[in-house]
Structure 1
């Protein structure tokens, strides 16, 4: 199959707008952005490159023309009707942009998998970035806008990362850069000034209430781990992209608070001696939340949607993945990004669940199979292999061997990577490049974007590691 779309203009011309009143920096945020440091991507793993290439074909053809009915030229109009539609629309557009950007310029293109017009792929990625940025509250265009809502920090992170990957090759227009910079600044400042990390249970084991910023209730069956980690993403990315910004240091420290509280287990409540970037687990938590609390059980298992849940165990990959933007900047990644990750990942194999099955099984239940064991019933689907492959890949490069991990991440990288690629390569999944066949495999409406961006992150992780970019620092952030 070949990509037949014509080459589109490389300069994006937005309409005139007024500067949003939400801006708080003395200069436009985009002027602080330092582009990622270029390198020559080299990766021997063709599985992830094949997936990224085929997904880029899917997004730039069928998905673009039919699923979202975007115009052939111009900036896409990003629209939705409900709050959930907003999440799917904005998040999947950002995930598609990341995938296509990685395909175009960061080692993801495999010509033997499919023929693509790379200039067109790059241009469509940039147009998605601009379309999403223009629908943020900082753009001031009116109508249905996103921003400052539940999970918007994570969407802003995805938008910012996609833009950063395109910064020098495609996203060269000052107005477009300003729109993206304003989003990052706004969402990072909300986390800095309005929000705080949340905990599932306090030191007595009592379920804790939601903060009330987005919704209210009791966290009886919902750890705050994933939410804390996604709040950290935009803070850490904004500080890395804009190191000279007057609030960059504050963003970095607040990101660490969210990330550490997000990975806090019951075992770590009173740890006042371990040094994580300048402070202890207990001090990071008490300083951020105001009291000791945790989000993971003493066995490093998460509870979400009322279930001990492998889909949300994998949420730690969100935190580990923040190493990628540090590596793109050619700077060390702070240690908090991988604190407790070996124990969380190891629990996929070391914790067994007796009950309705015999013999008892761990979540990574069979070393020869990608299939998971869901001790309290499945949640999002039974074939979300690409996300687990990303987790395996990050643990393989970021942690390596550990007493907490009885079966190596290298082994699981092979198992889940093979399964993910096989999903996309099988017959019956149409059109070409699509990964998921039905809701039983994955019922999340934005599933194609989720799988594709996971494969794109595998590409980035492997290429950046091969380039010698991954390093670590435990320097104080206090």
Structure 2
């Protein structure tokens, strides 16, 4: 979650090249784009009852939030179709594309993994609405759509929007038509291929954003604005395309860039002179800058910002890979333990002259050392991260383990939803000013539940790190 910046479009030539490459690949294979996808082999998985404490909590949050998103929220927002038969999303910006994509991911996870609550809307009707969102978002991408009034894509954050929609589509692959599948693939390939034109300095060729907040020589590239988040969401898309399409002609390039973005995301100053090699990348040689402090702090919006210390996007990589029965790059969880320690145990100065930790012992309350420009109430954000940290053992440095914090924060999230009968979380923008706050909770807990489902599956743990 980041304040929306001016969208940085790549040059028209790059856009044309990506679209042309997509069409050439399809023609070369003599098949539709969707034929390159390896569907999830659901028959290789067992079941998950969510009988454990974490599972019960996460399932409850997901069931309620997804019920709200695909029920009242959908009904109020998506009231008409355009002449081409797709939903009217109401625009091409973040609110018009990312928000419904997060809804689709939340609902797809709930439906596919048995967590959907049919109160108010049957699972069959929820599936129809969910598929409507998935197919419309993909159809509106510039790889499939030349209408400038409805087309989105090739922007600063659009790889994240494509990731959400693509993950939702992969979960619901059997519910999509061949035409819809093709459009999903075109969208994913077009967004992923943008990152293979880059190098160790830039995200997107020489016209995009840099990978680091601070350069190796000490130059501050983007003052007060860590690039952890951009790198991780770009990597998330590449992890998804690689998992879905391991035989694609671009898969090797995606895999390489995937590891590079993950390594850059959580690079600290000490990595620039260390001797470690991660996923085949020698850090001191390849890295050209850093994004986090060696003490685990993350600077964003010009402050030490706990919201941006929630590194759930990296840990979600294990679930993406797990669906393909492969391992996630170990770079995806590198330095998460030190960042988590900075949330739990590091002491920060207070205005009264004392010190305080971000996580408050025995409480779901959060201390924001330099304030929080997003609002006051983020229990679900931290609870989702705690659950992943606990699952993957990234709490090895802290005095109080992640499972304890997960219980506190999840229960606080459940209490927020208990205020309403329709399953939503927030009372107002004062609690959380982000426009997609409800959808963000849905996506967090959808991916949380998928991670639990894979880790605690009756057929054995299906996640691993290479």
Tell me the TM-score normalized by structure 2. Answer: 0.86
Question: How many angstroms apart in 1 are the aligned matches of 2:303 and 2:394?
Answer: 29
1:293 lines up with 2:293 in the alignment:
no
Q: Quote the residue 1:6 is aligned against.
A: none
1:247 lines up with 2:253 in the alignment:
no
- Against the structure 1 CA distance between its residues 116 and 79, is the aligned structure 2 distance closer, same or farther, given a 3 Å change threshold? closer
Deviation at 1:405, TM superposition (A): 2.1
Deviation at 1:400, TM superposition (A): 5.1
Question: How many angstroms apart in 1 are the aligned matches of 2:75 and 2:116?
Answer: 22
1:23-422 matches, within 5 Å, as: 23=22, 24-25=24-25, 26-27=28-29, 28-38=32-42, 39=45, 40-44=47-51, 45-70=55-80, 75-80=86-91, 86-110=93-117, 114=119, 116-144=121-149, 145-168=151-174, 170-171=175-176, 173-194=177-198, 195-196=202-203, 198-208=211-221, 219-272=222-275, 274-285=276-287, 292-314=288-310, 316-364=311-359, 366-399=360-393, 401-402=395-396, 404-422=397-415
Deviation at 1:401, TM superposition (A): 4.7
Deviation at 1:457, TM superposition (A): 1.4
Q: Quote the residue 2:431 is aligned against.
A: 441
Deviation at 1:127, TM superposition (A): 0.8
Question: How many angstroms apart in 1 are the aligned matches of 2:358 and 2:107?
Answer: 32
Which sits farther off after the overlay, 37-46 or 347-356? 37-46
CA contact (8 A) 2:340 2:395 kept: no
**3-state DSSP class of the match of 1:353?**
strand
CA deviation vs aligned residue, 1:174-215 (integer Å, no higher than 9, x gap): 11000000011000000111453611112233201xxxxxxx
Question: How many angstroms apart in 2 are the aligned matches of 1:448 and 1:22?
Answer: 37
Question: How many angstroms apart in 2 are the aligned matches of 1:36 and 1:469?
Answer: 16
Question: How many angstroms apart in 1 are the aligned matches of 2:66 and 2:395?
Answer: 34
CA contact (8 A) 2:341 2:395 kept: no
Question: How many angstroms apart in 1 are the aligned matches of 2:326 and 2:464?
Answer: 8
Question: How many angstroms apart in 2 are the aligned matches of 1:241 and 1:328?
Answer: 9
**3-state DSSP class of the match of 2:357?**
coil
Q: Which runs of 5+ in 2 are unaligned?
A: 1-17, 204-209
CA deviation vs aligned residue, 1:323-378 (integer Å, no higher than 9, x gap): 111111122222111111111111102321114145311211x1222221111111
CA contact (8 A) 1:188 1:251 kept: yes
Question: How many angstroms apart in 1 are the aligned matches of 2:352 and 2:392?
Answer: 34
Question: How many angstroms apart in 1 are the aligned matches of 2:306 and 2:366?
Answer: 8
Question: How many angstroms apart in 2 are the aligned matches of 1:442 and 1:358?
Answer: 28
Deviation at 1:59, TM superposition (A): 2.1
**3-state DSSP class of the match of 2:130?**
helix
Deviation at 1:20, TM superposition (A): 5.5
CA root-mean-square deviation? 2.1
Tell me the TM-score normalized by structure 1. Answer: 0.84
Question: How many angstroms apart in 1 are the aligned matches of 2:68 and 2:463?
Answer: 34
CA deviation vs aligned residue, 1:42-94 (integer Å, no higher than 9, x gap): 3122222222222232223221222343569963222227xxxx112211101
**3-state DSSP class of the match of 2:103?**
helix
Question: How many angstroms apart in 2 are the aligned matches of 1:436 and 1:72?
Answer: 31
Question: How many angstroms apart in 2 are the aligned matches of 1:94 and 1:299?
Answer: 34
Question: How many angstroms apart in 1 are the aligned matches of 2:340 and 2:125?
Answer: 39
**3-state DSSP class of the match of 2:67?**
helix
Question: How many angstroms apart in 1 are the aligned matches of 2:338 and 2:438?
Answer: 30
Paired residues, what number? 425
CA deviation vs aligned residue, 1:209-249 (integer Å, no higher than 9, x gap): xxxxxxxxxx1111111111111111111011000101112
Question: How many angstroms apart in 2 are the aligned matches of 1:473 and 1:435?
Answer: 33
Question: How many angstroms apart in 2 are the aligned matches of 1:401 and 1:297?
Answer: 18
1:464 lines up with 2:448 in the alignment:
no
